[in-house]
Amino acid sequence: MNSAASRRRFLLRSAPALVGMLLGGCDRLSNSPWFARILAVAESLNAAVKKGTSTRLSMAQEFPESELSPSFRSNGTSRPSSAEYESLAANGFADYRLDVGGLVAKPLSLSLDDIRALPSRTQVTRHDCVEGWSAIGKWKGARLSALLKEAQPSASARYVVFRCADSLEEGGDPYYESIDMDDAYHEQTLLAYELNDAALPIGNGAPLRLRVERQLGYKMAKYVMRIELVDKLDGIGNGQGGYWEDQGYQWYAGI
């Protein structure tokens, strides 16, 4: 066997061990030229592993029900003031439709029953508001990943934008928020329709609010009316990706 072929066989047999050494960093081995070549591959693998563990895969802490807060306060808007929202609420949200559009193959218009029929998840998590309060609540909702599977985002989609029914100032711009695709497909990212085993109260965002558990409270858009897949955030609000972001808050509000 010539030396190139035997080297290849060696590489194939010992690939897992080599990757292990490379991930741990091994300067002596990386001095040899053929090794330097696969080092580049291993480095990109390492980056993928790191991204996976720190973004897509890591889970926000979940709590036992014994730790539920006695009440979950309402913050920001406690009831949208538009006539359109009032008429939806008056009818128990029977006429509510969630529109899903933008960069998708299949735009959707979903009733609450449609949303309740999607694969769901229940989780007890802690909500942290920048204003200095926290509360532990039990959320049930449709997995955003399941909704996206239906809508089929195009390859160019980079963000999911949530458009809300309320504005914080009279006649002001409506509340909105945005997350990236990693958070959109995260297991704990939900469109919640229940809080603490009851229909989501109006004060907490009825009929549907976002839960994106690894971020701060202001990311958790309440009163979600429309979801839009986009490739950039410019041109939406002041272009910073959310109502509070437009006033200078961080877009990635990790906790």
- The closest of 213, 223, 102 to 165, measured between CA atoms, is 223
Task: Give which of ligand MTE, Mo ion, none residue 168 binds (C-beta under 5 to 8 Å, depending on kind).
Answer: ligand MTE
**DSSP classification of residue 218:** G
Q: Of residues 175, 218, 223, 251, which one binds Mo ion by CB under 5 A?
A: 218
Residue 238 within binding range of ligand MTE, rule CB under 6 A: no
Count Cα atoms within 13 angstroms, Cβ side, for 88: 23
Residue 213 within binding range of ligand MTE, rule CB under 6 A: no
Question: Minimum distance from CB of 72 to ligand MTE (Å)?
Answer: 6
Question: Minimum distance from CB of 101 to ligand MTE (Å)?
Answer: 19
Question: Minimum distance from CB of 219 to ligand MTE (Å)?
Answer: 7
> Which of the stretches 11-19, 46-54, 184-192, 198-206 binds ligand MTE when contact is defined by CB under 6 A?
198-206
Q: Is the peptide bond before 201 cis (omega within 30 degrees of 0)?
A: no
Nearer Cβ to ligand MTE (21/255): 255
Amino acid sitting at position 92: G
Q: Of residues 217, 237, 241, 242, which one binds Mo ion by CB under 5 A?
A: 217
Nearer Cβ to Mo ion (134/156): 134
Amino acid sitting at position 23: L
Structure tokens at 13: 């047999």
d(CA 166, CA 174): 5
**Cα angle at 200 between 197 and 172, to 5 degrees?**
160
Q: Of residues 188, 223, 229, 251, which one binds ligand MTE by CB under 6 A?
A: 223
Residue 218 within binding range of ligand MTE, rule CB under 6 A: yes
Count Cα atoms within 13 angstroms, Cβ side, for 127: 26
d(CA 51, CA 44): 10
Residue 220 within binding range of ligand MTE, rule CB under 6 A: yes
Residue 153 within binding range of Mo ion, rule CB under 5 A: no
Structure tokens at 19: 């990757």
d(CA 144, CA 187): 8
- The closest of 249, 220, 224, 246 to 234, measured between CA atoms, is 246
Site string for ligand MTE, 124-153 (x = CB under 6 A): -----x------------------------
Q: Of residues 138, 143, 186, 222, which one binds ligand MTE by CB under 6 A?
A: 222
CB 164 within 8 Å of CB 176: yes
Q: How many residues bind Mo ion (CB under 5 A)?
A: 3
What is the contact surface with ligand MTE in residues (CB under 6 A)? Answer: 73-77, 129, 164, 166, 168, 175, 203-205, 217-218, 220-223
